[in-house]
Chain A
Amino acid sequence: DADVTQTPRNRITKTGKRIMLECSQTKGHDRMYWYRQDPGLGLRLIYYSFDVKDINKGEISDGYSVSRQAQAKFSLSLESAIPNQTALYFCATSDLGGNQPQHFGDGTRLSIL
């Protein structure tokens, strides 16, 4: 979905490095999410935010932190990357007002050596 942009699209880095993945959206949605996908598996929620002042842990938040800098921006940080954080990371958005369908970015493929 071109309205949800993730940067970078690919990243290779070393164990122990700090990494930030960024997500921006032009859909005007209040809710934003970060997921990771491991090969052959479904997505798992890392963190989500319902507005700029709201941050919630998901199923697998350990080792990650997030920042909601503005309604349109939601970044995910790995403070000290480890190899088992190698995965495909997705950002998603949804509108406010009850449960609404989610719209995904194209993903960031992260490899930690």
Chain B
Amino acid sequence: GIQVEQSPPDLILQEGANSTLRCNFSDSVNNLQWFHQNPWGQLINLFYIPSGTKQNGRLSATTVATERYSLLYISSSQTTDSGVYFCAGANDMRFGAGTRLTVKP
């Protein structure tokens, strides 16, 4: 099956900083999604982004399908952004291992 790699595995930021999370796929996917798992374990769909760029408030995502990667940008980070960010895709929805983000006040 498709392999999904996320980087970095862990990220610690000061409140207000910006960050970029990366997701690489071993093969093409047409349903790439980004999720946030909050400290209580809930999973929230952030973006459905098979290609192109989308923005939602302080978050934006870009997928370059031809090069099999996607980036998630978080600007002016807040403590509520803490948690684990996952990317996923493919017909059998392969997830990466996630990036654990900690935003300190």
Residues of A within 8 A of B (CB): 1, 33, 35, 40-45, 48, 58-59, 88, 90, 92, 99-104, 106-107
Contact present for A42 and B48 (CB under 8 Å): no
A-B CB contacts (within 8 Å), total count: 57
Contact present for B93 and A45 (CB under 8 Å): yes
The list of the 9 closest CB pairs from A to B, nearest first, reads A42-B95, A99-B31, A101-B48, A104-B43, A43-B95, A101-B45, A42-B97, A45-B93, A45-B92
Chain B residues whose CB sits within 8 angstroms of the CB of A90 once the complex forms: 43
Interface centre among B31, B43, B48 (most CB of A within 10 A): B43
Contact present for B92 and A106 (CB under 8 Å): no
Over the window 30-47 of chain B, the binary record of Cβ atoms lying under 8 Å from chain A Cβ atoms (1 yes, 0 no) is: 110101000001111101
Query: Which residue from B41, B92, B96 sits with its C-beta under 8 Å from A58?
Result: B92
Chain B residues whose CB sits within 8 angstroms of the CB of A107 once the complex forms: 41-43
Chain A residues whose CB sits within 8 angstroms of the CB of B47 once the complex forms: 101
Verify if B101 is at the interface (C-beta below 8 Å from A). Answer: no
Instruction: Report how far A104 CA is from B33 CA in the complex, Å.
Output: 13
Chain B interfacial residues counted at CB < 8 A:
23
Chain A residues whose CB sits within 8 angstroms of the CB of B96 once the complex forms: 42
Verify if B88 is at the interface (C-beta below 8 Å from A). Answer: yes
Instruction: Report how far A48 CA is from B35 CA in the complex, Å.
Output: 19
Instruction: Report how far A42 CA is from B38 CA in the complex, Å.
Output: 13
Contact present for A59 and B41 (CB under 8 Å): no
Chain B residues whose CB sits within 8 angstroms of the CB of A44 once the complex forms: 95
Query: Which residue from B1, B42, B50, B86 sits with its C-beta under 8 Å from A59?
Result: B1
Q: Which of B3-44 contact A (CB under 8 A)?
A: 4, 30-31, 33, 35, 41-44
